[in-house]
Amino acid sequence: MERTESNSLATSRRTHRNGAERAVEAQLAPIARLLDRELSHLAFNERVLALTQRTSVPLAERLRYVCIVSSNLDEFFEIRISELMGEMRETGGINQASPLWESFAHIAERAHGLVDRQYQIYNEQIIPALARERIVVLSHSKRTPAQRAWVKEYFEGEVRPLLSPIGLDPAHPFPQVMNKTLNFIVQLNGKDAFGRPGTIAIVKVPRALPRVIPLPSRLTPNRQAFVLLSSVIRAHLADLFPRRGVAGFSQFRVTRDSELWVDEREVSDLRHALQVELTQRHFGNAVRLEVLRTCPEALELMLREQFELPPHAVYRVAGPVNLVRLNQLVDHLNRPEHRFPPLVPAWPRQLAQGSDLFEAIRQGDILLHHPFESFEPVVDFLRQAVADPKVVAIRMTLYRTGTGSILVDLLEEAARLGKEVTVVVELKARFDEEANINVAERLEAVGAQIVYGLVGLKTHAKLLLVLRRESARGRERLVRYAHLGTGNYHPTTTKLYTDFGLLTAHSGICTDVEKVFMHLTSLTRVERLRHLWLAPFTLHQRNLAAIANEARLARAGKPARVIAKVNALVDEATINALYEASGAGVRIDLIVRGACSLRPGVKGLSENIQVRSVVGRFLEHHRIYYYGAGGSELVYLASADWMGRNLFRRIEVAFPVLDPKLKRRVIEEGLRPYLEDTAEAWTLLPAGEYAPPRQLAHGQCAQRKLLALLTRPDEEP
């Protein structure tokens, strides 16, 4: 399989390099063909951060966007930057000049600017705005004597018993510091108990302690007041070291390489190997160090040397070193005007609540558009399958499910009832590995057949297949029903992410879904699929062929069109195909939420390509591929972005929308509103920067339009 994957990638890249690159090579000397992926990812977070400055966004949500940027940056450093630093270490060390070092320095410069801007917005805009609403975060200097007394009592009763300060000496070396934890480094005055001067101490803060602590209302009349755990500890650092005195200190936080490395070809039990590897994740190579802006230079240097980091990897911040944990503050803000209006997803209009879903699906395919339409029909589909004695088998892929998932409960119940339940659980779903191991063990315990996917590939496709024994014309036969989606089987994220799902009994599509499951469970070669595009086998080449077909139509003087909505576009072969199609005259619109390496609007290369990124209340997550096809309008929904990992290192599925009415819905709901958006759509410029939305206040907003269209019962579908 690895040889096939590698050959496929090499062949498709070679083909398009020979075509597109030679055609425009003479005109490309002044520019780079591709935009830097890491810089593009940081640009996405800059767009998210811009939401914190919009007065139209409720205050609590603006603070949440500050937290989201921090969470995104954590993963960026844990995965993307750790890979870059790993390459530097392998090629001569992180302190030697090299192209990799220059790239790292450039990325770090952009990241430092983003972090500085983030803290500036937090300190100069969010905190003052909260104060105007009588919501305050009190530092030690701003607390009254009564509040200080309460904080001291809280420290002595709830915090101090859990702290174990470690003074450093030959018998007490620098302790292991876990990934993304809050810690203090302290320079002490005087001498220790053995008469030795100049001790450095480390204070590790347990994750069990809340980072945001509400003060009692009796101490803060007419205000909601909070103190941060870091402020509580800082105010009482000296109490941890009697008769010493604190000469200098800083909070610090280390971000580490968090990619799990398991050679699946060398292990006999992937689940066990991952369980072992998970225990080491918190102690991977350091890739970033966050300290206070006031951190003494000597302490910063000591930490940097301890974690073997270059100067660029140190981030001095003007506030708490982990803004992610301020989500706890957001959760405490319960005034409705500070939040988005609650979303109550509509029940799909073509489907009556409480109806027999099998009968409804037999009448025609059902398209679901989340979060505007409820995810509950998918849950009901599985629930009815579990309860229906005619259903003999259920097969499902699980990538991310969340904790306490009703879907897992239903699969467990189906197995208990004796149905044939097969679940493909992706153990390597990043940062959900432990949760998925628990799901696998739980389902296996009740007799479900658990499969962990294929060696070297993550199973990212979203598929649910139900086999039901039905009678027709005096004979029984197995009838297949399926759900295919662009998003995870995760009831929580379906309320936050935009995704499409399709419930279908189409015999060709359902047969293809069954073949995919057969491939996943038996490891046999995939039989020819009539409707689905399956990565890593056919999805990439079918997509390239569809784009090339549009180029042929354009050269023949016929209308040609490509529209795609994806989370990321970085696959070089796909970009080259789009460049070639643009040169042929194909009009191409790309809606790319995150990283995009394609450079649009360059004469002779991409002048017919426009790229926009929509960032708003909901996370844009559906993947839609549209090809004009000479007026036939091919529309595919997919689990895959246009990235190498999706196209060659994962099991992914793209599926067609065949019903003309549903195809029109996908175009009118999933594409057109985003192409017409002037309120939340950023435009990618040829130089790689993004131009902000043209009409922030009164422009057309895709998400607002869909909320109005799909959640109002008096609207026509």
Q: Which residues does the annotation mark as catalytic?
A: 460
Question: In this structure, what is the dihedral angle of CA atoms 135, 137, 138, 144, given to the nearest 10 degrees?
Answer: 20
Report in angstroms the alpha-carbon separations of 129 from 123, 320, 435, 478: 10, 18, 38, 62
Closest CA to 518 of 595, 584, 454: 454
Q: Would you list the DSSP string of 56-114?
A: TS-HHHHHHHHHHHHHHHHHIIIIIIHHHHHHHHHTT-TTS--HHHHHHHHHHHHHHHH
Instruction: Give me Rg for the CA atoms of the chain.
Output: 28
The phi-psi region of residue 355 (left if phi > 0; otherwise alpha if psi is between -120 and 50; otherwise beta) is beta
Who's near 568: CB < 8 A, 6+ residues apart? Answer: 592, 593, 594, 595, 596, 641, 642, 643
Q: Are 304 and 289 in contact (CB under 8 A)?
A: yes
Q: Are 529 and 556 in contact (CB under 8 A)?
A: no
Query: Which contiguous run of DSSP H or E holds residue 704?
Result: helix 702-711
DSSP bridge pairs for 465: 395, 482
Q: What are the strands, taking DSSP E only, across 330-429?
A: 366-370, 391-398, 420-425
Cβ-in-10-Å burial (0-12, 13-18, 19+) of 667 comes to middle
Who's near 29: CB < 8 A, 6+ residues apart? Answer: none
**Could you give the 3-state DSSP secondary structure of residue 432?**
coil
Q: Are 582 and 555 in contact (CB under 8 A)?
A: no
Instruction: Please compute, for residue 276, the number of CA atoms within 13 A of its CA located in the half-sphere on the CB side.
Output: 9
Backbone angles phi, psi at 529, to 5 degrees: -100, 135
Q: How many CB atoms lie within 10 A of CB 312?
A: 17
Q: Are 520 and 459 in contact (CB under 8 A)?
A: yes
Report in angstroms the alpha-carbon separations of 159 from 152, 155, 216, 442, 690: 10, 5, 17, 36, 45
Q: Which two tokens stand for residue 440?
A: 């696998």
Instruction: Please compute, for residue 296, the number of CA atoms within 13 A of its CA located in the half-sphere on the CB side.
Output: 13
What DSSP designation does 429 have?
A: S
Which residue is it, tokens 């974690």?
307
Q: What angle do CA 647, 649, 652 make, to 5 degrees?
A: 55
What DSSP designation does 206 have?
A: P
Who's near 494: CB < 8 A, 6+ residues apart? Answer: 370, 371, 375, 487
Cβ-in-10-Å burial (0-12, 13-18, 19+) of 262 comes to middle
Question: In this structure, what is the dihedral angle of CA atoms 697, 699, 704, 710, given to the nearest 10 degrees?
Answer: 150
Who's near 390: CB < 8 A, 6+ residues apart? Answer: 468, 469, 470
State whether the Cα torsion 263-264-270-274 is positive or negative.
positive
Who's near 613: CB < 8 A, 6+ residues apart? Answer: 44, 47, 591, 592, 593, 594, 596, 681, 682, 684, 690
> How many helices and strands, by DSSP H and E, does the chain display?
23, 27
Order the strands of the 212-214 sheet from edge to edge.
135-137, 224-228, 212-214
Report in angstroms the alpha-carbon separations of 498 from 487, 565, 613, 645, 660: 8, 11, 14, 22, 22
